[in-house]
Amino acid sequence: MRASMFNISVRTVDGTRVVLFNTLRGSLCVCESADLPMVDRFLSEGAFKPTSSGERDFLDRMMELGYAVEDQCDEIEIVRNRKLAGMQDPNRLDVIVLPNMNCNFACPYCYESHEPGSAMSSEVERRIVAFLKAQIPRSSVLLLSWFGGEPLLNHGNVVAVSKAAQDICRTHDVALVGNVTTNGYLLDAQKARALVDCGIYNYQITVDGPPAIHNRTRRLRGGGETFDRVFENITILAKTDPRVRISLRVNFNHQNIDSIPDLLELFDPAICSSLRVVFEPIFGDHCLSATENIEAPEISEKLFRYYAMARTLGYDVTLGALPIGQLVYCYAERENQFIFSHVGDVYKCSVSRFSPSQRFGYLDSRGALVRDDARWQSWFRMDLFEEKCYSCQYLPLCMGGCRRARCEGVETGSYCRLVPTNASFALKAIAFGGFEELLCRIGVAEESLVVEMNSDREVSK
């Protein structure tokens, strides 16, 4: 028996308890004062030789909870198997469609190169539908996501392809999950109804702060403010159908992170439960990058505070700081995931300039995928993880970081800073704060929430 390589711990402020978390198994427990000498010994020495029945019981409990493993257990192999299972998942068909590379906004942090006037032709639309017709019957679930550019500049493409996908899914008893990532400016009541009618219930709309802050970054291409119209459209959309869920995204850096609480105060409480707040760090250029300009612990501390505030105000909040059982880092690692551009080219990562020289293939006239084998191979045949990942206790939470960044420069991205601080803050919040409130925020599923065992206190949701 030996200690798992994926244990992390934090001690309460009074030093009387230790919170133990295993990133591979998701075990979460709080060890109280009587156990602390054994816990300390276990954390420093691993699975020590027991000299009493109490120590033996403790080690048995560590084994039962996944904090200790058998000597022959290859935990890295378990993580590698997860990654391969996620990459080769046969059930999900992930399709992201870019109906244009055009945008009516000119956000300074945008990584895309926009092409004014670009739009999907009816021929490309037909090829995508043909692709879906061939692939959907092989799947259990279709994730159809619309991205751009600004997809609603081509609302007609979005509705036509989504309607066709909805019909094919119904015919073959395949579940459809529709998403649109939009700046929200064009999403009036009529468009919202049309999208909902073709099965699109999930939306992501970015608001970067209260009006004065938002209008600095989220401005129209030709100049002009956008807050009031986007704000109104979000309210309309939320009331269009009870199934509508809107990810209210705030892209933050050092210039707007402190304005997030003011934004949260603005929305009508009646729609807050339809709004899931998502705070995302701006990445890219040094002068705009969140992680280049704010220390990771400060980001974690503030975001935890803002998520707590959002929850109090009635927003939909689920923290993912302690995710269990991740299979891949992101959707682009899945073999059955495709991004189709407005000209029918195929890509993998949505954080891209979508230049033809970077494409992974294209859809031919029959809607069949013609792959660029060299590029496809280079994306999928690289090592599952970087060397440094194999000794990282957070690996099961992040699954190796950004594949695109690794392909381009053997970097795993800002994850190496954010995942540890986020996980640490979640554990500290458990250690320093109330259980029930935090457990709700970290999204512990009902069935995995366990009532404590050898104590007269209960932890319940």
Partner 1 sequence: MIIVRKPKKEAEVLATAKKGADKEKILKDMVARAECCVDHLCGCR
Restricting to residues 192-251, which ones interact with partner 1 according to CB under 8 A?
247
CA distance 12 to 7: 17
Q: Which is nearer to partner 1, 140 or 235 (CB)?
A: 140
Smallest gap, in angstroms, from Cβ of residue 459 to partner 1? 6
Q: Which residues contact 422 (CB under 8 A, 6 or more apart)?
A: 300, 303, 321
Can you read off the two tokens belonging to residue 51?
């000299």
Q: Does 253 bind partner 1 (CB under 8 A)?
A: no
Rg over alpha carbons for the chain, rounded to the nearest Å, is: 24
Q: Which is nearer to partner 1, 144 or 153 (CB)?
A: 144
Which of these ranges, 43-51, 256-264, 319-327, 362-370, lies near partner 1 under the rule CB under 8 A? 319-327
Query: What is the footprint of partner 1 within residues 104-163 (CB under 8 A)?
Result: 140-141, 143
Binding residues for partner 1, rule CB under 8 A, total: 81
Which of these ranges, 45-53, 235-243, 376-384, 438-446, lies near partner 1 under the rule CB under 8 A? 438-446
Phi, psi of 167 (to 5 degrees): -65, -45
Q: Does 392 bind partner 1 (CB under 8 A)?
A: no
Interface residue with partner 1 among 89, 112, 208, 345 (CB under 8 A) is 89
Q: Does 406 bind partner 1 (CB under 8 A)?
A: no
Give the contact letters, 331-370, x = binds to partner 1 (CB under 8 A), - = no. xx------------------x-------------------
Interface residue with partner 1 among 85, 270, 370, 382 (CB under 8 A) is 85
3-state DSSP assignment of residue 307? helix
Interface residue with partner 1 among 280, 292, 301, 372 (CB under 8 A) is 280
Helices 415-432 and 296-312: angle between axes, nearest 10 degrees: 50
Q: Does 277 bind partner 1 (CB under 8 A)?
A: yes
Contact 203, 245 (CB under 8 A): yes
Which of these ranges, 124-132, 186-194, 362-370, 397-405, lies near partner 1 under the rule CB under 8 A? 397-405
Smallest gap, in angstroms, from Cβ of residue 41 to partner 1? 15
Q: Does 377 bind partner 1 (CB under 8 A)?
A: no
Q: Does 30 bind partner 1 (CB under 8 A)?
A: yes
Smallest gap, in angstroms, from Cβ of residue 383 to partner 1? 19
CA distance 156 to 276: 27
CA distance 420 to 397: 9
**What is the distance, to the nearest Å, from the Cα of residue 455 to the centroid of all Cα atoms in its chain?**
36
Contact 391, 379 (CB under 8 A): no
Interface residue with partner 1 among 102, 206, 300, 424 (CB under 8 A) is 300
Give the contact letters, 31-70, x = binds to partner 1 (CB under 8 A), - = no. xx--x-------------------------x---xx----
Smallest gap, in angstroms, from Cβ of residue 157 to partner 1? 24
CA distance 183 to 162: 19
CA distance 59 to 63: 6
Smallest gap, in angstroms, from Cβ of residue 121 to partner 1? 29
Q: Which is nearer to partner 1, 160 or 174 (CB)?
A: 174
3-state DSSP assignment of residue 388? helix
| Cα angle 452, 458, 461; round to 5 | 100
Q: Which residues contact 283 (CB under 8 A, 6 or more apart)?
A: 289, 290, 291, 413, 414
CA distance 280 to 315: 16
Smallest gap, in angstroms, from Cβ of residue 117 to partner 1? 29
Interface residue with partner 1 among 153, 230, 257, 397 (CB under 8 A) is 397
Interface residue with partner 1 among 398, 412, 424, 429 (CB under 8 A) is 398
Q: Which is nearer to partner 1, 118 or 336 (CB)?
A: 336
Would you call the peptide bond into 149 cis, given omega within 30 degrees of 0 as the criterion?
Answer: yes
CA distance 223 to 460: 52
Q: Which is nearer to partner 1, 152 or 174 (CB)?
A: 174
Report the C-alpha dihedral over residues 177, 182, 187, 190, rounded to 10 degrees: -30
Report the relative pairing of strands 92-97 and 337-340 from DSSP bridges.
parallel
